[in-house]
Amino acid sequence: MMTPLCASWLRMAWLTAAVFFIAPHIAMAAPVTFEFTSIVVSVESSFLGVQPGDAVVGRYVFESTTAATPSTPPDPTVGRYHPVGTFEVTFGVLTLSLPLSFIEVLNRPDLDRYTVAALSGTGDGALQLQLVLATTQSLGVFENVDLPAVPPPLDQFENAQFILYVSQGPNNFIQQITASPIQTLLQILPVPDCDSDFEREPGRDHGRAHAERSEHDCHLRLPRLPH
């Protein structure tokens, strides 16, 4: 005869096993960070000192489980996502940071395209940042229009550029800065306990550690696997 203690133990074991097998199938929201590099190739007019030849480093963060916004009429060749996140770009010593607007994936018979955009507003002087990867030659680079959780392979896109637009009226964004080609596009992973380990280094002045943290890169860059 099974004792109450034994029955309780069996119930606990069953629940533990159920959680173990079910948990891997539950999608957990997690911020994903991609970083790209490029070089400014053109500036339409003076813009805060940015010059052709300036190095460009961009980084955008988005929620990996963001659902697609349904298109009207329905279009299975496009996936548009409006994740919460940020898009930051640095030209030399100038850094701009805008709220992420959308990420779009096109998977069409004559065009595959990946677009990331951020927008500061809609009035005069508003800024729009865009990273665009497009190809009409390597069709099939996207198997579907799901939100990519890893960086798309740069070698599959003959058009890869970053553009900064400035608004000069309602729905009138003028191309101001172009950087091309996109040289690298990597996923950035934080290193667990990196900051705390950094501050605990023997002989380190803990009061200075916070000031130095901005120079201490606590991220791991993952290269995109070949397509």
Do the domain assignments include residue 89? yes
Residue 165 is predicted with a pLDDT of 95
pLDDT digits (tens, 9 = 90+) for 100-119: 999 999 999 999 999 999 99
63 assigned to some structural domain? yes
**Given this model, what pLDDT does residue 77 score?**
96
Provide the pLDDT for residue 47: 81
pLDDT tens sequence across 152-189: 999 999 999 999 999 987 778 899 999 999 999 999 98
For residues 221 and 186, is the Cβ–Cβ distance under 8 A? yes
* 157 within some domain: yes
Counted domains in the chain: 1
Task: Note whether residue 143 is domain-resident.
Answer: yes
Amino acid 191: pLDDT: 66
User: What's this model's pTM, rounded to 2 decimal places?
Assistant: 0.75
Residue 3 has pLDDT above 90, yes or no: no
Nearest of 70, 72, 82 to residue 115 by alpha carbon: 82
Residues in a beta bridge with 11: none
Cβ partners under 8 Å of residue 81, min gap 6: 62, 66, 67, 68, 69, 102, 103, 104, 147
Per-residue burial over 148-177, b = 16 or more CB atoms within 10 Å of its CB, e = otherwise: beebbebebbeebbbbbbbbeeeeebeebb
Q: Is residue 7 part of a domain?
A: no
Instruction: Identify the domain containing residue 130 by its residue range.
Output: 28-201+212-222
- Give the model's pLDDT for residue 20: 37
Domain membership flag for residue 11: no
Domain membership flag for residue 23? no
- Residue 11 scores a pLDDT above 70: no
Per residue in 57-109, pLDDT (tens digit) is 999 999 999 999 998 899 999 999 999 999 999 998 889 999 999 999 999 99
pLDDT at 223: 54
- Confirm whether 207 is domain-assigned: no
The first and second tokens of residue 195, run together, are 């900051």
Question: What is the β-pairing status of strands 173-179 and 184-190?
Answer: unpaired
Q: Is the dihedral of CA 26, 27, 30, 34 positive or negative?
A: positive
